Amino acid sequence: MSQRQHYAETEVDAPHDPLLTVARLAALHRDDSHVVHEQGATWHFCAGALAEITVDRRQVHYTCGTDRRSIPWTRRPLDVVADLLEALPVRRWRAYGWAGFELAEAQAGRPPAAGAAPLLHLVVPREEVRITAGRALLRTTGPDGPDRLAALLAGPAPERVSGQRGIAGLDLGVGADQYLKSVAAAVDEIGAGAFEKVVLSRVVPVPAAIDLVATFVHGRRHNTPARSFLLNLGGLRAAGFSPELVVSVTAAGLVRTQPLAGTRALTASAAENHRLREELLADAKEIHEHQISVTAAYEELGTVCEPGTVTVEEHMAVRERGTVQHLASRLSGLLAPGLRNWDAFAALFPAITVSGIPKSAALAAVRAYEPVPREMYGGAVLAVDHDGELDAALVLRAVYQQAGQVWLRAGAGIVRQSTPERELEETCEKLRSIATYLIPAPTP
C-alpha cells in the first residue's frame, strides 16, 4: 500500500437495539471476515481488512494492500506485531482480533507444538460501526460506504431471535472420567510442590450445526459478561461472553486487570443464589484460589508498571456471569516509561485464572494433562487502537465452529484443597452459560 489510507467518517442515529443491529450486520456478512466486540457501553462491528496480521509458530505474516511480508520471530513475536502496527499506513487505525492461549509459549521463547491454528489474528477493518447511546460512528474507506451503512442502520428494526432452543444429544459430561483422573493427579503434584495452582479444561463436542449469530443474540440476553464477541476470521467462527478482562491499557497508560477465581452456580432462585454466595465467600478453598491469583496478578503488573503505582481497586467482590457467580478483584497501575501496551499484555497473558501459579510450571502442566491445544480458548479477544489503547478480554464461555466441527470448552482452577468431583461440577456450571442458549442451524 503506497499511499496512506484514511477513513471517511459519518455519525448517524442508531435507534434500534444495538445487539440486534450488530447481529444483523454480522448476518449480512456471514460468509465474510467480521468481528462484533461489545466493550462497555459501546458496540463495535467491523468487516473486511485494510491490513491483516497473523502469527504462527515460526513467522509473523503481514498484509496491507500490495505489501505482503512474512517475518521470522525468534523470541517475542508481539514485538514484531507492535512494530508493524505502529508503521501502518492507515490514519487512526483500530485493530480487532484474537490471541490464542499458546501464544504465551511463543512469547516465552518456546515454539508451541505443531498445529494449524494461528497464535494471533488481527485485522484493521475496511468498514467499522461503533454504536453508543443511540448514535453510530460509521468509518469506511469505500466511496459509497457511509451511505450504505447509514441506510442499514436507518432501516426497519431488526427482528428478535426466535426458533427452537437446545441441541439434541449434547452431553456436558463428555470426558468426565479422564477429567477426574487429571484433577486428582494435579492435586498430587501440587502436594509434592510442583506448582501451587493449575487450571485444567475439557472439550465438549456439539453434535449439530448451530446458528452462530442467533446463538450470540440469545446467549447475550441471558449473560452478564465483561465483554461479548462474535467473529469470523480465517475460517474460525466463535461467539462468547467473556467473564473478565485479561488487561486493558488506556491512551494515558493506565493498566487494569480483573482476575476472577472462585465459583458457585447462579440459579433461578434468589434465595438459593444468596445461600451459594455466602457459601462462596466462606469457602477456604475458593478464597485461597482467589487470593493467590490476586497476588500473582499484582506481581505481574509490577513488572510493567511504575514502582508504587500498582493498587488493588476492588477485592473479592462477587460478580454474576451467566450461570455462575465468581469472586472478583480489580487491580491497576501506570505503565512504566518506555513500555508499550503490548508489553502490558505480554506480562499478564495468558490470564492467571486460566493458567496457574507459577505460570511457567502451570503451562507445562496444561500441556501434559490436556490432549489437544487450547488455541482460542483461554486466550483473548482484542481491540487495539492507534493511540495506545488496548482491550483484551478472556475467551471463556464461548462456542467455536471450524471445518464442520462445533465445540465448547470449560475448565476449573485446581489447588491443594480441590476435589475432583467439585471441579468437574464447576466445569458443567460454566458450560451451561453457553450450552443452554445454543440455537440449531436452520434446516436447508
Judge if 57 and 87 occupy the same domain. yes
* Residue 276 in domain: yes
Range of weakest confidence among 160-174, 258-272, 295-309, 385-399: 160-174
* Residue 381 in domain: no
List CB contacts of 251: < 8 A, sequence separation 6 or more.
385, 387, 388, 389
In tens, the pLDDT along 134-148 reads 999 999 987 777 788
Judge if 289 and 193 occupy the same domain. yes
Judge if 133 and 187 occupy the same domain. no
Judge if 186 and 295 occupy the same domain. yes
Residue with the larger pLDDT of the pair 182 and 150:
182
Q: pLDDT at residue 23 above 50?
A: yes
Q: How confident is the model at residue 1 (pLDDT cuts 50, 70, 90)?
A: very low
Judge if 264 and 407 occupy the same domain. yes
Judge if 270 and 356 occupy the same domain. yes
Q: Which domain holds residue 411?
A: 176-221+244-372+399-435
Active-site hit among 52, 128, 244, 423: 244
Residue 411, classed as helix, strand or coil, is strand
Judge if 48 and 180 occupy the same domain. no
How many domains in the chain? 2
Q: How confident is the model at residue 162 (pLDDT cuts 50, 70, 90)?
A: low
Judge if 78 and 16 occupy the same domain. yes
Quote the cell numbers at residue 287.
478464597
**CATH number of the domain within which 274 lies:** 3.60.120.10
Judge if 132 and 213 occupy the same domain. no
Is 244 among the catalytic positions? yes
List CB contacts of 209: < 8 A, sequence separation 6 or more.
401, 406, 440, 441
Judge if 142 and 256 occupy the same domain. no
Judge if 192 and 304 occupy the same domain. yes
Give pLDDT, residue 2.
Answer: 46
Q: What is the largest CA-CA distance in the chain?
A: 65
Quote the cell numbers at residue 383.
481491540
* Residue 233 in domain: no
Give pLDDT, residue 102.
Answer: 94
**Considering the entire predicted model, what is its pTM?**
0.95
In tens, the pLDDT along 423-440 reads 999 999 999 999 999 999
Q: How confident is the model at residue 408 (pLDDT cuts 50, 70, 90)?
A: very high
Judge if 87 and 188 occupy the same domain. no
